[in-house]
Chain A
């Protein structure tokens, strides 16, 4: 298999050099290439997805995620039109006799707000592109939508889109098309984020001031990406203003934010540094018996880029986020992610663009008691180092080849306990570290067959090596009960314990029906090699990632989706209907009462089975006018069948939502006032309710006949949020701009059930009751102040 792998990689390299050679003599073929970068005129940010069109020929190209474009044309004289949603188009007359480099700066429209639209596409992109199951969110919209406690949040915002839900409002992570929270590949400047939440899930780790572009792909995932079953959330950080110093920030009830961006050398390089910190703990300090308690989080995002020459550009970015909770000297818990990414863009020639990335990412937590006879420190982490190379080869205007290879080295520290004082009752314990390498290589072609038919198809080859050293067991016993470890085997350091190779075909097809409608279809096979072990309703920060091992097999998913896309009234409205079906295998579940923490025989508590999810997603969006917004509705089902649970019958996943509706409206009242509202409705999460009780030593225990799983739903969830933003007076002479945002979360104060549990009455043990836990039981008003200059 390794040889096959090497062969594949070799082919890619040959291909790239062939491409290089082929483009070295353009004039000989009568074809020439115009290439370059598309940037924002005001701040130099790359315009990802901007388009370059030669109207007379009906051909065009799209700028890649670094703003690079390449378009190959017959020699001649043309007018090239550069467009990007929210920007003034530019027409550039060009006489092409030889290859040319043209970097273009587009001016944003509506600059009076001082806010720059950082994401946008061709107005008819949803109909024209082969992408489906893909949602982009533009940060300007995100900032206008009502936010919890006034804090703009990337992950909460994507939950307003079809197919994306959550098990509850305090829950970390999100579920895409009936998948688990660990089945989303969350990338921040290409570095994976293993726990995307602050404060146990209330806020996401991304600082909106540092985010340039968010893309969520839930179907038709390109071959470039792999490693998770359900989705790709690609978050890209701003590059920093190449023209002038820019400062932005905000003050809210929970946290404050500040971002600074500036050129390093004008037009050559720039940086951005953005930070946030919550200050709940500062209030705690004012309360005498709370002054030793701490509860806060912060994060820092930084990025710099530098143009080394016409063909080379370097990006360095980093992220550090931390949550800290402490109760005096009695208990302390810290957790967070950190990432570092170095990227090098190289333009081999006008048609071959390459990016090489080296990155590191770590999620870790520690908790413990700092002193006393019960002092200890418990640590756990997942670390990965990764190297990858991605190439875009603009073969012809009709065909772009993307190919590349990657390797990820993982280490897992499942848990390690150390006593912190000599008199501690605890002894040191360490579970074996685990190591693994995940390889990937892919090739994919974006092909336009005719003006009507285009496709993107590719193949990803992935392989996972579970490495020693460590002890490996088999597990014996009936499914559904704790198994017994048998047959221990020792493996030396670096030895391959188990190798899993996989082929992952991907394809998307688009067929244009009319000028404003198209049909799309996609298929993708995804493989996931690392898994989050989580046996709680919402994933907890103490959950541990585990590699595929001899017992835990890689998860596979096959997804088929078909969609109809249609725009109305000159692209003022866009609408889509997508239907998907998904089959998954090697899904992980847990025996009743499983102990997932600090358990060296964790695999004795795991059960495996198959899953399926299917559904229909309806989306209608209004892009223009005083009133904008969207309605998204998802009808779906997500189930699994696992030997040892629910008597081997299919049962719905806890995150299964039959109905999921979001309505978002943004209304511009006047140049200074914007009001917005969102409404959510969803089926309650699935849970197990008892049907009987018994008493053991005076305590009432609930029981359900037949040991069924997820036989009930908590009541339906619905919520209305409102917000109003007041922009400060615009004074063209000053750069200072500010705004106030007032918001109300849970406007009609519904006590949405996060969970329903059963207990005996505190005062009368003979009496039993069902109890509702609502994360937010009341209206949450907030105000925040934002500024930039």
Chain B
């Protein structure tokens, strides 16, 4: 359905002599908050959690890392592990193994605060295949190779997905490459060739013969879907019908009694299925 929003947006701007330019804006520098990025999958570990701090919006420096934190990860089967700091601010598991159907609780003790993040790993469908299809120029599409997904969606509404496309070893990772979707409209159906990309691959370079393409399909929890969806909205927020700017949700909660210091980011569980091809 995101495509509809994009179409509408295009239509809304098409006829206008609208213009977009970068302008200077004075904004205050917000106080730093803990930012969490981490995941656990149903594939073998180690799994990583990275801790940084938020920085002023226009600051170009790398985000400050949060070192010396104590992170523990517990699954619903009772396994508990303390993560090792493998590089400044980057923490890894050693033994824990992610499994479909399990719930996970990450605890972070950092800078005198304690945070908790809960997630789960949900069921996943398998990828049938991915294909590269050559398309001629049309009113809506440029000429080139499009990467398509084939596979059956699991019956029963309530599944959420993210797709990642890796082009010659590079993840397509511009703001508009973030693809999340749910099965509300397609529940249990066979997905017979839906575009995961347009003709542009990583770094804006078109897909061409001989290129290696890998697709990763992630089955994600509902709340993480909303996190990614809100994130996609906020980082692509332009046009007449833009959503008002607002903070993206987080699953990292401060559990320190009496503390109101918030955190941002997400610790997510998901499955990972992948398929690759070479464009011929």
Contacts and interface: CB of A to CB of B under 8 A. Distances in A.
B189 interface: yes
Given A328-B138, A592-B247, A759 B235 contact: yes
A772 interface: yes
Contacts of B139: 289-290, 292-293, 327-328, 330
Contacts of A538: 240-241
Contacts of A200: 11-12, 240-241
B18 A773 contact: yes
Query: What is the interface residue range for chain A against chain B?
Result: 35 or more
Interface string B52-87: 101111111011000000000000000000000000
A709 B246 CA distance: 7
Given A693-B54, A695-B35, A771-B23, A425 B30 contact: no
A769 B175 CA distance: 14
A777 B246 CA distance: 26
Given A540-B8, A694-B265, A696-B37, A775 B63 contact: no
Contact of A425 (B191, B245, B262): B191
A594 to B, nearest CB: 9
Contacts of A328: 138-140
Nearest to A691: B30
B248 A703 contact: yes
A367 B9 CA distance: 14
Nearest to B25: A770
Interface string A38-57: 00000000000000000000
B190 interface: yes
B37 to A, nearest CB: 5
B24 interface: yes
A758 B57 contact: yes
A593 B21 contact: no
A778 interface: yes
A753 B19 CA distance: 10
Interface string B172-208: 0111001000001111111111100000000000000
B55 A693 contact: yes
A766 interface: yes
A295 B58 CA distance: 39
A751 B19 contact: yes
Nearest to A754: B240
Nearest to B37: A696
Interface in A473-503: 481-482
A593 B11 contact: no
A519 to B, nearest CB: 41
B46 to A, nearest CB: 17
Given A696-B266, A705-B31, A777 B175 contact: no
Interface stretch (B97-105, B107-115, B225-233): B225-233
Contacts of B8: 333, 367, 540, 542
Nearest to B35: A694
Interface in B24-61: 24-25, 27-33, 35, 37, 52, 54-60
Interface string B7-18: 110111011111
Contact of B242 (A378, A536, A777): A536
B194 A425 contact: yes
B27 A712 contact: yes
Contacts of A378: 4
A708 B244 CA distance: 12
Most buried by B among A330, A417, A696, A772: A696
A262 interface: no
B7 A331 contact: yes
A349 B235 CA distance: 67
A593 B245 CA distance: 9
Nearest to B204: A762
Interface residues of B, number: 83
A306 to B, nearest CB: 41
B15 A199 contact: yes
A325 B12 CA distance: 10
Nearest to A685: B244
Contacts of A754: 18, 240
Interface string A574-599: 00000000000000000011000110
Instruction: Classify the secondary structure of B's interface with A.
Output: loop
A429 B184 contact: yes
B231 A701 contact: yes
Interface string A735-759: 0000000000000000101111111
B209 interface: no
Interface string B241-259: 1111111110000000000
Contacts of B35: 694-696
B96 interface: no
A691 B244 contact: no
Contacts of B237: 757
Contact of A768 (B18, B57, B187, B265): B57
Contact of B24 (A201, A425, A700, A770): A770
B234 interface: yes
A760 interface: yes
A427 B29 contact: no
A199 B24 CA distance: 31
B23 A770 contact: yes
A425 B186 contact: yes
Contacts of B189: 425-427
A325 B11 contact: yes
A707 interface: yes
Contacts of B15: 199, 202, 280, 295
Interface in A662-701: 687-701
B60 to A, nearest CB: 5
Interface string A158-195: 00000000001011000000000000000000000000
Contacts of A199: 15
A429 B188 CA distance: 13
A153 to B, nearest CB: 16
A694 B245 contact: no
A411 interface: no
Interface string A353-395: 0000000000000010000011010100000000000000000
B182 to A, nearest CB: 10
Most buried by A among B10, B54, B192: B54
Contact of B192 (A201, A423, A762, A780): A423
B138 A373 contact: no
A223 to B, nearest CB: 36
B62 to A, nearest CB: 8
A774 B19 contact: yes
Contacts of B20: 771-774
A33 B230 CA distance: 68
A713 B262 CA distance: 25
Contacts of B28: 691
Contacts of A376: 185
Contact of A688 (B54, B185, B246): B246
Given A427-B185, A698-B173, A771-B23, A688 B230 contact: no
B171 interface: yes
Contacts of B246: 592-593, 688, 709
A584 B126 CA distance: 53
Contacts of A252: none
A691 B175 CA distance: 20
10 contacts: A417-B185, A425-B191, A425-B192, A689-B25, A691-B30, A691-B56, A692-B29, A694-B265, A695-B35, A701-B248
Interface of B: 1, 4, 7-8, 10-12, 14-25, 27-33, 35, 37, 52, 54-60, 62-63, 137-141, 171, 173-175, 178, 184-194, 226, 229-231, 233-235, 237-249, 262, 264-266
Given A696-B265, A757-B242, 20 more contacts: A170-B12, A170-B18, A201-B240, A289-B137, A290-B139, A327-B10, A328-B140, A425-B191, A425-B194, A426-B189, A481-B249, A536-B241, A537-B244, A593-B246, A598-B184, A654-B244, A688-B244, A693-B56, A694-B52, A777-B17
Give the 8 A-B residue pairs with the shortest CB-CB distance, closest first.
A777-B19, A691-B30, A692-B30, A593-B230, A694-B35, A328-B139, A770-B25, A592-B246
